[in-house]
């Protein structure tokens, strides 16, 4: 089935048009500066990229621009919008309502709206993308795929926070976790690469701009590092990961920050950017680390915290069969992968440094005789969204 995948942000919208079986990508692109002026970048494999300034006061014009370029006689890939069998939307927060993807109807929209307080930055934008598609292509089925859904199998001891229980009961405060679509894809591939054993324990490391780990037993998440929101876990590009809440009170008192300002610091100015003062991009940190102590410290901190999570999840699962690296850093940085696995021999992790010298393709990089397999698996969230969308639409 030919599926259009939409990932709508507040001022941008990414799209990909692909075949759900086999995953062939026909076209993909990006609408930027929605609500400001509007720019479209459209990419078709084997052709030159098309860039156009198109007014996009709202997401409606952005979706219209995407459909127009898709059927454009020169730059397009289809002759009619009817060739789009369905639209799959990436939605950040599904709260407790969604344990799987779902067909978008009025009830689904209401449930996504109810999750806005849990995902205040993303869910409203995701909804704008959905509503624009409903308006512009009313007869095309739409599906919502949630970043949180794959994590909903966590047991209570993993998702409950040790605060008064009423906040869980009345206000849905609990660990949700994110990057679920990516963890689902790579952990399933890892289980395949292990030879589909009846039982498996996988640690999935999604290391990108935002990063999270998931512990996956027999294909089901039992723990993950992000929490109620994506700020939790270990340090990322610009996010702090877990911090002692006392820091908030202390700094807000000293500098008079509002909670909004404080959270902006933790979301946008922290992580490896905050420690290094150099960059949130690990390539810049790698380049700077030799002559810059703080850049080196930022990398040390990141590696140390990821390593601690791997140890914690191995303990939580009572062992591990495979560790998977994915996303920008996980797929591309051999040094970070190597340093994360260094010293884990005691738990049966032995990486083959030579095999580890690959970038961006599936590989088993464990040394001969390593009890634990180390895999690199490029993530493919779009394929997961396309497959879910096709499956739900066939039903
Ligand atoms: P997003 O979370 O935005 O999807 P990605 O998964 O694409 O992010 O990851 C982007 C990050 O991956 C970059 O910010 C950069 O830090 C990192 N990255 C990409 N290539 C490399 C590389 N060769 N070495 C180290 N880090 C890399």
How much is the average pLDDT of 271-291?
95
pLDDT in tens, 209-254: 999 999 999 999 999 999 999 999 999 999 999 999 999 999 999 9
With both helix axes pointing from N to C terminus, report the angle between 293-317 and 334-341 in degrees, rounded to the nearest 10: 50
pLDDT in tens, 33-89: 999 999 999 999 999 999 999 999 999 999 999 999 999 999 999 999 999 999 999
User: Residue 395: pLDDT above 90?
Assistant: no
Contact 232, 241 (CB under 8 A): yes
pLDDT of 56 reads 97
Q: Please report the atom of ligand 1 found closest to the CA of residue 359.
A: 23
CA distance 332 to 355: 13
pLDDT of 235 reads 98
pLDDT in tens, 147-181: 999 999 999 999 999 999 999 999 999 999 999 99
Contact 8, 27 (CB under 8 A): no
How much is the average pLDDT of 16-28?
97
Ligand 1 site, CB within 6 A? 208-210, 237, 281-283, 286, 327-329, 332-333
List residues bridging with 3 in a β-sheet.
Answer: 18, 86
Contact 17, 77 (CB under 8 A): yes
pLDDT of 121 reads 85
pLDDT of 305 reads 98
Q: Please report the atom of ligand 1 found closest to the CA of residue 327.
A: 6
Q: Which of 8, 297, 286, 12 is nearest to 126 (CA)?
A: 8
CA distance 295 to 290: 8
How much is the average pLDDT of 2-23?
96
User: Catalytic positions, please?
Assistant: 147
How far does the centroid of ligand 1 lie from the alpha carbon of residue 25, in Å? 21
- Domains detected in the chain: 2-146 (3.30.420.40), 196-376 (3.30.420.40)
- Would you state the structure tokens that stand for residue 134, as one six-digit string? 């409903």
pLDDT of 125 reads 95
pLDDT in tens, 290-316: 999 999 999 999 999 999 999 999 999
pLDDT in tens, 323-374: 999 999 999 999 999 999 999 999 999 999 999 999 989 999 999 999 999 9
For ligand 1, mutation pick of 30, 209, 280 (most atoms within 8 Å of CB):
209
How far does the centroid of ligand 1 lie from the alpha carbon of residue 274, in Å? 17
How far does the centroid of ligand 1 lie from the alpha carbon of residue 360, in Å? 11
Contact 327, 182 (CB under 8 A): yes
Q: Which of 300, 178, 296, 160 is nearest to 233 (CA)?
A: 178
């Amino acid at each position: 089935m030919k599926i259009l995948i939409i990932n709508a942000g507040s001022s941008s919208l990414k799209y990909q048009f692909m075949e759900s079986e086999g995953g062939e990508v026909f076209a993909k692109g990006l609408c930027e500066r929605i609500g400001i002026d509007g720019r479209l970048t459209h990419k078709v494999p084997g052709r030159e990229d098309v860039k156009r300034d198109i007014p996009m006061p709202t997401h409606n014009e952005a979706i219209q621009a995407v459909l127009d370029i898709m059927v454009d006689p020169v730059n397009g890939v289809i002759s009619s919008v009817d060739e789009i069998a369905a639209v799959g939307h990436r939605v950040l927060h599904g709260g407790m309502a969604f344990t799987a993807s779902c067909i978008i109807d009025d009830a689904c929209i209401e449930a996504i709206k109810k999750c806005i307080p849990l995902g205040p930055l993303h869910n409203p934008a995701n909804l704008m993308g959905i509503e624009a598609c409903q308006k512009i292509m009313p007869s095309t089925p739409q599906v919502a795929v949630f970043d949180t859904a794959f994590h909903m199998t966590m047991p209570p001891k993993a998702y409950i926070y040790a605060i008064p229980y009423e906040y869980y009961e009345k206000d849905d405060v609990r660990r949700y976790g994110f990057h679920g679509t990516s963890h689902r894809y790579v952990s399933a591939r890892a289980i395949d690469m292990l030879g589909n054993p009846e039982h498996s324990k996988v640690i999935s490391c999604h290391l990108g701009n935002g990063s999270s780990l998931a512990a996956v037993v027999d294909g089901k998440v039992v723990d993950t590092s992000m929490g109620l929101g994506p700020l939790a876990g270990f340090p990322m590009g610009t996010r702090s990961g877990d911090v002692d809440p006392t820091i908030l009170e202390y700094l807000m008192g000293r500098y008079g920050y509002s909670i909004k300002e404080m959270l902006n610091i933790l979301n946008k100015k922290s992580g490896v950017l905050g420690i290094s003062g150099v960059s949130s991009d690990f390539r810049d940190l790698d380049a700077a680390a030799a002559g810059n102590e703080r850049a080196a410290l930022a990398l040390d901190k990141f590696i140390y915290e990821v390593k601690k999570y791997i140890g914690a999840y191995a303990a939580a699962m009572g062992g591990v069969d495979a560790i998977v690296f994915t996303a920008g850093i996980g797929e591309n940085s051999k040094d970070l992968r190597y340093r994360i696995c260094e010293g884990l021999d005691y738990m049966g992790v032995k990486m083959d440094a030579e095999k580890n010298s690959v970038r961006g393709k599936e590989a088993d990089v464990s040394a001969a005789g390593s009890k634990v397999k180390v895999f690199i698996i490029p993530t493919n969230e779009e394929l997961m969204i396309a497959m879910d969308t096709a499956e739900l639409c066939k039903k």
